[in-house]
């Protein structure tokens, strides 16, 4: 319990530059059991309440294309997979994003595979139209793009970008991402920051062949990036992929401990309870909201496309529509005694940056 205490005593809340713990210290936290584990969750929840508050930001994910040029080893829409492909037309994307706003989503997250049909010009005109229609914030999650493209996205009104690094272990990264390099992804995260776009990244918890020490290093790597948002989820390989059938972690609590540690090390970051946690455990997203998370991302993709965007097995909500998901989210958040946040939900980090720039 000593390492836990030492971390609790040096919350980075007031001094974000406080040194991060060592790999063995994070490992000790990941190995906590029983009452100590409950204390870890409680500490993360308390810190979340004090730093980012009780309000939960609701961000609708719109999966607008399942075409992908890449062949990641675990993904259900990888290039060589046999899924029926779809692309939503630009007008359809804009209409659905506006609809999502009426369901209570102040941010729309436009997500797709690495689909070159959506050129920077097409994406910029979609982002512009959504912002002009009064949606407070737009996030893009469309894979690695060049620095020049990212600047164009920012100029069109893109507020945030999600690009997970997935694992900080270069060897593992190479094994499961044959089309990309770790360095290129990390460079893209830096380019996003230079383009003044809020940066979201994260990793998969429980990758096959990843030791607990690798997980500890991933937690520390994400924390060092000083992200606006940290999005992680359990590793769940689609059955029709090379990694299909690889087992999940025996100790299910590791998934939740990881989220709690991330909150302790990143007091001011937005941390979503990602959908994949519900594939692990029907109550998964609620549990993550109770150990540090403050963002919920309901699916707002039209029902007819949902079964075609299954990155991993047992994806929840594939038979619902956006209205049903929004209603369910409201109930879940209220059930936890929390409320839905108003406004665009920009990160605390970006708000302080804007304040400094105004001085």
Report the residue number, 318 or 323, with the smaller CB distance to ligand SF4: 318
Does position 72 bind ligand SF4 by CB under 6 A?
Answer: yes
Report the residue number, 72 or 225, with the smaller CB distance to ligand SF4: 72
For CA atoms 304, 305, 306, 307, the dihedral sign is positive
Query: Quick one: which of 7, 52, 58, 77 contacts ligand SF4 (CB under 6 A)?
Result: 77
Does position 70 bind ligand SF4 by CB under 6 A?
Answer: yes
Binding segment (CB under 6 A) for ligand SF4, from list 66-74, 121-129, 251-259, 290-298: 66-74
Does position 207 bind ligand SF4 by CB under 6 A?
Answer: no
Binding to ligand SF4, residues 132-151 (CB under 6 A): 143
Minimum distance, C-beta of residue 29 to ligand SF4, in the bound complex (Å): 28
Minimum distance, C-beta of residue 264 to ligand SF4, in the bound complex (Å): 28
Cα separation values, 33 from 37, 233, 252, 261, Å = 5, 21, 11, 14
Does position 237 bind ligand SF4 by CB under 6 A?
Answer: no
Cα separation values, 41 from 44, 131, 213, 254, 262, Å = 5, 37, 20, 12, 11
CA angle at residue 229 from 223 to 230, to 5 degrees?
55
Minimum distance, C-beta of residue 187 to ligand SF4, in the bound complex (Å): 16
Report the residue number, 47 or 150, with the smaller CB distance to ligand SF4: 150
- Give how many residues touch ligand SF4 by CB under 6 A: 10
Does position 175 bind ligand SF4 by CB under 6 A?
Answer: no
Query: Quick one: which of 28, 75, 100, 108 contacts ligand SF4 (CB under 6 A)?
Result: 75
Residues that bind ligand SF4 (CB under 6 A): 68, 70, 72, 75, 77-78, 113-114, 143, 311
């Amino acid at each position: 319990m000593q390492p836990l205490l030492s971390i609790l005593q040096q919350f980075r809340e007031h001094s974000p530059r406080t040194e991060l713990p060592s790999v063995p210290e994070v490992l000790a936290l990941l190995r906590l059991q029983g009452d100590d584990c409950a204390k870890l969750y409680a500490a993360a929840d308390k810190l979340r309440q004090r730093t980012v508050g009780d309000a939960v930001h609701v961000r609708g994910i719109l999966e607008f294309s399942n075409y992908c040029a890449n062949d990641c080893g675990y993904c259900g829409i990888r290039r060589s997979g046999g899924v029926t492909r779809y692309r939503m037309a630009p007008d359809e994307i804009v209409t659905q994003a506006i609809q999502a706003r009426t369901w209570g989503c102040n941010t729309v997250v436009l997500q797709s595979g690495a689909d070159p049909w959506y050129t920077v010009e097409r994406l910029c005109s979609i982002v512009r139209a959504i912002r002009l229609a009064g949606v407070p914030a737009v996030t893009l999650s469309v894979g690695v793009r060049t620095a020049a493209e990212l600047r164009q996205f920012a100029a069109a009104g893109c507020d945030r970008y999600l690009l997970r690094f997935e694992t900080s272990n270069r060897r593992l990264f190479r094994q499961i991402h044959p089309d990309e390099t770790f360095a290129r992804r990390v460079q893209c995260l830096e380019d996003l920051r230079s383009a003044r776009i809020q940066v979201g990244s994260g990793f998969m918890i429980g990758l096959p062949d990843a030791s607990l020490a690798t997980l500890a290093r991933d937690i520390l790597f994400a924390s060092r990036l000083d992200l606006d948002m940290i999005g992680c989820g359990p590793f769940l390989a689609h059955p029709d992929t090379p990694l299909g059938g690889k087992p999940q972690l025996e100790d299910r609590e590791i998934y939740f401990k990881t989220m709690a540690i991330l909150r302790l090390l990143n007091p001011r970051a937005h941390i979503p309870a990602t959908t994949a946690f519900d594939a692990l455990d029907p109550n998964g997203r609620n549990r993550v909201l109770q150990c540090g998370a403050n963002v919920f991302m309901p699916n707002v993709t039209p029902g007819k496309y949902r079964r075609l965007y299954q990155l991993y097995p047992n994806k929840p909500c594939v038979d619902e529509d956006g209205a049903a998901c929004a209603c369910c989210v409201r109930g879940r958040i209220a059930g936890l005694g929390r409320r839905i946040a108003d406004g665009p939900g920009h990160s605390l980090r970006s708000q302080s940056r804007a304040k400094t720039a105004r001085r």
